[in-house]
Structure formats: structure tokens, C-alpha cells
Amino acid sequence: MADVTAEWPGRVAELHVAVGDSVEAEQELFTLESMKMLTPIPAPRAGQVSEILVAVDDFVDEGAVMARLAD
Amino acid sequence: MVWQPEIDELDRRRELAHQLGTPDRVQRHHDRGHLTVRERLDLLVDPDTFRERGVLAGKATYDDEGNLAEFIPSNYVMGVAKIEGRSVVVGGDDFTVRGGAADGAVGGKAGHAEGMAVELKVPIVRMVDGTGGGGSVKTIENIGRTYIPGNTNWHVMTRALSEIPIVATAMGSIAGIGAARVAASHFSIMIKGNSQVFIAGPPVVERAFGQPIEKEDLGGAHIHAHGSGVVDNEVDTEEEAFELIKRFLSYLPSNAWQLPPVCESTDPWDRREEELLSLIPKDRRRPYNARKMVELIVDEGSFFEIGRHFGPSQIVGLARLGGRPVGILANDPTKSGGSMDGAASDKYARFIDLFDTFNLPIINLFDQPGFMLGTAAESSGVARRGVRALSAVYQAVVPWATVVVRRAYGVAGAGHQNHARWNYRMAWPSGDWGSLPIEGGVQAAYRRDIEAADDPDAYRAELEERLSAMRSPFRTAEAFNMEDIIDPRDTRKLLCEWVELVYQSLDTVAGPKLRGTRP
């Protein structure tokens, strides 16, 4: 298990994966918008998306868990 | 043959020193995946170049006839050697004797090595593998009193930071003065999963807080090479650490009085990378791969990034242009939009100082929206840490070139160069700058007008549109407020030419800088 966390606060602008998707390390999973910039939130490691905890337009704080990856 | 017996004793004592700690301790050290200090030296330095100092130092016991019965060597092995043909001082703790504790070094050998490097004006490599300064409170029993802590030789280590390159590697679990010797360096490395750095190790921490803690959780690479900023780079093996040491030193002069070593470059100066023309997205909100940008511009394979995971919105590293070493600054728009937070400010200041200390011309590929905003950033002291970084910009005397590849906003954006001296500055057509971005700035500047309007949103949009029409960087260049706008594909050639030009008079800025260098 690994958490995908928001590296900085912002609005969830784009969601690039769905539960069950296999992802590579560093693959962009979400795009956050803050300070007029779109920031990719990458996968901390390879795995399968087991849970997505945010929806488009949600506001997330820095460190908030956005998704979980299973092995 | 008059002195043959003494020569025999000399050989015997040298042999005993080379045995290090007891065989079972050496075995345990190997079993934990570590090399001994002498094996490390063999891998790091050029063959047959290590000239050891103080091989005879140690603790001896004698039999009733006064013959040497037992010998425990000093646990600090050091001397002069060559790395890739260049003279250096190297020293390393021997963990197999008293756990590498500093008081097992005998007669201040570690301090002697530091002083030797400063006098010889050559880099020093510290391979730190010690468990602490005082070693243990047993010292109290040995000397029959307590003592006021003194940080022996700290004045030499402080001076060394301003004069010679210092590289430090954490080779094991290191605490106290060992941790301090790693942090007080220009470039530091640790081994992922097999080295830890802390002020005090798990037993002391557990006693302090009543909670047990694992050493890896307390001071592993995931902490120090990823967020604390105490250690710059992490590697998987000790062998990789030696390669990084060699690579880092290859860009630096031996001391602050000399110029960086120039090498042959086969990469053509006029290599024009088409990719640079499309790298920056038209949509200003979109990030791009800034490391790729750096690599497309500098000599092929020459970019050496330092401290990637600390203050990650700021990229720093060493590279070559036309074979001449330079310091690289760039922003990573995928991290906090490339903004300057507290950690990025610390990183900017520290590496500007490093480049300036060792006469490396600075190239700043700038795309920065300003300081990081918000409660977390304010609480972290970004304003003070940021202005400290600005002071570093204004204290640097090495030649400085800035390419504004996209944004330069506000006080932090102004920190792309020292505006009181001549800089080689240019922008890409994607250049976008100001005190405040138009989107947020309109609300601040025209708040009353917007509130009074019949349709505030429409009026705000109209204002934004009117100002955006004046946003073209060509208008700034018309006023010579931006000296030039260039085709991004010409960046390499222009910078290669500039670096060649400034190297001609680089010796005029050589020598230790007035500001000194702090770790």
C-alpha cells in the first residue's frame, strides 16, 4: 500500500486514473490547480489504484491523501 | 643493516594497523553490507596514490619486557591521494574500532587531516562512519572528570568551507560530531537503507522521549535526502557514492583561488534542439520538463543535479558548456508551480554561494511565479529565508547569465539576477513577467472599480483582457527592459560563447569571497 498525497494545496483540476488502473512510478495521476498553475501529482511508485478519495473540483490541503495504491 | 630490527618493528606495526579491528568485527561490518575504511579508500582513489599519515597511531599494550603485546589502531585513517589525477586529502572512520567514535582517532588525526587539506589547498573527502564525538560517557571515568564540549578544530572546518571543496559521505549510522561533519560540507551523500544520520541515535532519543524508534525512521535517506536538506544525494551502494564524489569534484577547482578544470567537449556549440521551440506550453498554467530543458542546452551528459528532493521547485546542479564548468539554476514547474518556498530559498542561497566560492559562472534558466503563497509558506518563514537568498544573489561576484524562459514575478522573480551589476540576460518568446500576474493583480489594483461595476465579473474580464494585450515580451524589449529575446534553439550557442568569454577574465574573481561560506 502507498498513499498518493497532495504535494501542495489546490483544486483538483483533472483526474487521469480510475480505480483498478495499473500505474507506473512517476505517472501523473491527478492535476492540481493552485496559484494559477497546473501541477501534476505523480504516483510515488508503481502499483494498482485501489481507492480514489477526491473528485474534480475538490479542494485538497497539502499532505491530503488523494488515492491509495496497492501492490 | 644497523636499523633492521626497527624496520621489522615498523613493518609489524603497519601490518597490525592494516588489520583494523578484530577479525570478527570486520566480519560483522561486512555482513551488514559495509566495506572497511581501507577497502573504501582503495575504491575511491587512483591506484598506488594513497600516502597515509599516522599509520602508527593507536593504543598499544606491552609485556613485562617492554615488547609490543597488543595494538588497537587509531580508528581514523587518512592521508593524501589522487582522485582522477588530482590531489586530495581523504579520511575515513574505521567502524571496526570502537564503532568509529571520534575519541578513538588518537591525537586529533581527523583535525590534522582537515588542517592538511586547508594548508595544501586541496579538496577533502570525509568518509564518515562514526557513532559520535565523545564516544561514550565512559570518558568521564577514564579522565576522572567531566569536560566542557569544545568541537575540536571547528575553526579549521569553518575556514575550509570558504577555501576548499568538501565532500562528505555518511557510510553508516552516524551521530553527533559525525553528523556535523557530514552536514558541514559542500556536497554530501548517504547510502539508501544502509546509512543514517542523526544528532543522537535511537538509545538517546528513546531515553529523551520515552518512545522506542528505529534508526532508519530517525535518520534514513528518506528523511535527509528528501526533505530535511541535511544530505544532498542518496545512492544505493558505497561504490556509487565513490562515483558521485569523483563526478562532483570533476567540475570544481582544487581551491577557491583556482579556476574550474576545463575539458575537451565534442558536443557542437551550434547544436540546435528543435524540441526547445515547443518545450514551453502556450497555456501558461501547464508545466514542462525543466530537467530536459537543461540537458538539451548543456554539453551532452554533463548535467549533474544536486539535492533533487530538497526544495524541489528549485533545481541546482553543475554542468559544462563547451567543456567549461558552470553552476546551473532552474525552476521545476511541476513542483509547487516552480515557486520559491522556504526550502527552495535555502537551496538557492546555498548553491549560489557554492558556485561563487569556486568561481563557477552561474546560468539561471528562470521560470518562477514568485514566492510560495499561503499559511504554510508564511509559517515556514519564507519571507526571511527568501530575502536571505536575494542577499546571496547580490553578494555573488562570479559572472551571471539569466535566460527568462517563462515567468518572473514579484520580489522573488526579481531575484533572477543582481540588478546593480551587468548580467547577460535574455528571454525566450514565452517570457511573462511583472510585479503581480495580471489575473490576481487586477483584483488587487482595481477592486473598487470592479465592485462598483454593474457586472463585476464582466468588468474584471474586460480589464484582464485589456492588460493582457500589453503582456507581449516584445513590448518589454522595445523599452530595453529586457535586453534580448532569442530563439530558444540558439540558447546553447549563445551560452557557450558567453561562457568562453567570461572564462577569459574569470581569474579576476578568484580567491575566497568576503562573505565567507556557511554550510
pLDDT for B204-215, tens place per residue? 999 999 999 999
**Residue the block writes with cell 575519541:** B103
Cα–Cα distance measured from residue B197 to residue A53, given in angstroms and rounded to the nearest whole number = 35
Distance in angstroms (rounded) separating the CA atoms of residues B104 and B93: 9
Instruction: Give the three cell numbers for residue B250.
Output: 570533476
Report d(CA B341, CA B185) in Å as an integer.
23
* Nearest C-alpha neighbor of B253 from the set B330, B321, B186, B169: B186
Contact B337 A35 (CB under 8 A): yes
Residues of A in contact with B335 (CB under 8 A): 7, 39
> How far does the CA of residue A35 sit from the closest CA of chain B (Å)?
8
Query: Taking CB atoms and an 8 Å limit, are A33 and B334 in contact across chains?
Result: no
Q: Are B291 and B315 in contact (CB under 8 A)?
A: yes
Q: Which of A7, A34, A36 to mutate to test the interface with B (most CBs of B within 10 A)?
A: A36
Q: Does residue B480 belong to any structural domain of this protein?
A: no
Residues of B in contact with A33 (CB under 8 A): 285
- Predicted local confidence at residue B135, as pLDDT: 55
Taken in order B405, B410, B413, B418, is the CA torsion positive or negative?
positive
| B287 contacts A62? CB cut-off 8 A | no
Q: How confident is the model at residue B134 (pLDDT cuts 50, 70, 90)?
A: low
Q: Is pLDDT of A37 > 90? A: no
CA nearest neighbour of B347 among B335, B366, B329:
B329
Min Cα separation A8/chain B (Å): 6
Instruction: Give chain B positions within 8 Å (CB) of A38.
Output: 283, 285-287
CB B325 within 8 A of CB B302: no
What pLDDT, on the 0 to 100 scale, is given for residue B87?
Answer: 98
Q: Is B186 exposed, middle or buried (0-12, 13-18, 19+ CB in 10 A)?
A: buried
Are the C-beta atoms of residues B226 and B219 closer than 8 Å to each other? Answer: no
Query: Which letter does DSSP use for residue B516 in this model?
Result: -
Identify the CATH number of the domain in which residue B87 sits: 3.90.226.10
Closest chain A C-alpha to B471 CA, distance in angstroms:
16
Strand partners, B315: B330
Biggest alpha carbon–alpha carbon distance for chain A:
34
Q: How far is A9 from chain B (nearest CA, A)?
A: 9
**What are the grid coordinates assigned to B169, written together?**
559521505
Chain B residue numbers with beta carbons less than 8 Å from the beta carbon of A8 are 336, 372
Asked whether residue B10 is domain-assigned, the answer is no
CATH placement of domain A2-70: 2.40.50.100
Do B232 and B288 belong together in one domain?
Answer: no
Contact between chains at B337 and A39 (C-beta distance less than 8 A): yes
The nearest alpha carbon in chain B to A26 belongs to: B334
Q: Which domain covers residue B322, as residue numbers?
A: 275-431+485-509
Which residues of B fall within a CB distance of 8 Å from A34?
337
pLDDT of the residue at B443: 83
Tally the C-alpha atoms within 13 A of residue B266's C-alpha that lie toward its C-beta.
1
Which of these ranges, B270-274, B435-439, B501-505, has the smallest mean pLDDT?
B435-439
| C-alpha to C-alpha distance for B208 and B143, rounded to whole angstroms | 26
User: Closest partner residue to A35 among B287, B335, B373, by Cβ?
Assistant: B373
Q: Residue B133: its pLDDT value, please?
A: 55
CA gap A36, B286 in Å, rounded: 9
Please give the mean pLDDT across all residues of chain B: 94
Q: Which residue, of B187, B215, B250, is where some domain finishes?
A: B250
Tell me the residue type at A45. Answer: R
Interchain proximity B285–A34, CB inside 8 Å:
no
Count of A-B CB contacts under 8 Å? 40
Work out the average pLDDT over B408-429. Answer: 96
Query: Given a cut of 70, is residue B32 above it in pLDDT?
Result: yes
Q: SS in 3 state form for chain A?
A: CEEEECCCCEEEEEECCCCCCEECCCCEEEEEEECCEEEEEECCCCEEEEEECCCCCCEECCCCEEEEEEC
Give residue B157's pLDDT. Answer: 93
Q: What is the pLDDT of residue B159?
A: 96
Residue B225 binned pLDDT confidence (cut-offs 50, 70, 90): very high
CA distance A42 to chain B (A): 10
Show the cell assigned to B414: 526579481
Residue A62 in contact with partner chain B when CB distance is under 8 A: yes
CB B163 within 8 A of CB B512: yes
Q: Which residues of chain B neighbour A62 with C-beta distances below 8 Å?
A: 376
The kind and range of the H/E element at B183 are helix B177-183
Same domain (yes/no): B346, B427? yes
pLDDT digit string (tens) for B473-492? 999 999 999 999 999 999 99
Nearest by CB to B336, from A8, A33, A36: name it: A8
Q: Is residue B40 part of a domain?
A: yes
Each residue's pLDDT tens digit, B367-387: 999 999 888 899 999 999 999
How far separated are the first and last CA of chain B, in Å rounded? 53
CA distance B107 to B315: 42
> Where is B187: in which H helix or E strand?
strand B187-191
What's the number of domains chain B is made of? 2
Q: Which of B222, B226, B285 to mutate to test the interface with A (most CBs of A within 10 A)?
A: B285
**pLDDT tier at B155, thresholds 50, 70, 90:** very high
Rounded Cα distance, B490 and B62, in Å? 73
Residue B284 resides in a domain: yes
Residues of A in contact with B284 (CB under 8 A): 36
Q: Is residue B126 part of a domain?
A: yes
Q: What is the pLDDT of residue A62?
A: 87
Sheet holding A28-34, edge to edge: A37-42, A28-34, A10-15, A59-60
- CA distances, B216 to each of B128, B134, B223, B501 (Å): 17, 23, 9, 48
User: Given pLDDT bands bounded at 50, 70 and 90, which one contains residue B136?
Assistant: low
Mean predicted confidence (pLDDT) in B261-266: 95
CA B147 to chain centre: 34
The CA–CA distances, whole Å, from B337 to A10, A31, B165, B342, B468 equal 11, 12, 33, 14, 21
* Interface test with chain B among A11, A33, A35, A59, by most B beta carbons within 10 Å: A35
Q: For residues A66 and B11, give the distance between their C-alpha atoms in angstroms, rounded to a whole number.
A: 65
Closest partner CB to B285 (pick from A9, A38, A62): A38
Q: Which residue has the cell 536538506?
A: B229
Distance (Å) from the C-alpha of residue B369 to the closest C-alpha of chain A? 8
Residues of chain B whose beta carbon is less than 8 angstroms from a beta carbon of chain A are 283-287, 333-339, 369, 372-374, 376, 437, 439-440
* Together in a domain, B234 and B330: no
State yes or no: pLDDT of B227 exceeds 70. yes
- Residue ending a domain, among B215, B250, B285, is B250
**Over residues B57-66, mean pLDDT:** 94
CB B315 within 8 A of CB B305: yes
Cell readout for B198 is 542523526
Q: Residues B344, B279: one domain?
A: yes
Q: Which residue of A has its CA nearest to B374?
A: A9
- Cβ of residue A38 closer than 8 Å to a chain B Cβ: yes
Q: Do B373 and A62 touch (CB under 8 A)?
A: no
Q: Answer whether A37 touches B (CB < 8 Å).
A: yes
pLDDT tens per residue across span B80-132:
999 999 999 999 999 999 888 877 778 889 999 999 999 999 999 999 998 76
* pLDDT given for residue B81 in this prediction: 98
What residues contact B93, with CB distance under 8 A and at least 6 apart?
B37, B75, B76, B100, B102, B105, B127, B128, B129, B130, B171, B178
Q: Is the pTM of this model over 0.90?
A: yes
Whether B345 and B390 have beta carbons less than 8 Å apart is answered as no
Q: Do A34 and B337 touch (CB under 8 A)?
A: yes
Residue B240 makes CB contacts below 8 A (sequence gap 6+) with none
- Within an 8 Å CB–CB cutoff, is residue A9 touching chain B? yes
pLDDT-derived band at B152 (thresholds 50, 70, 90) equals confident
Chain B: residue whose CA lies nearest to A40: B334
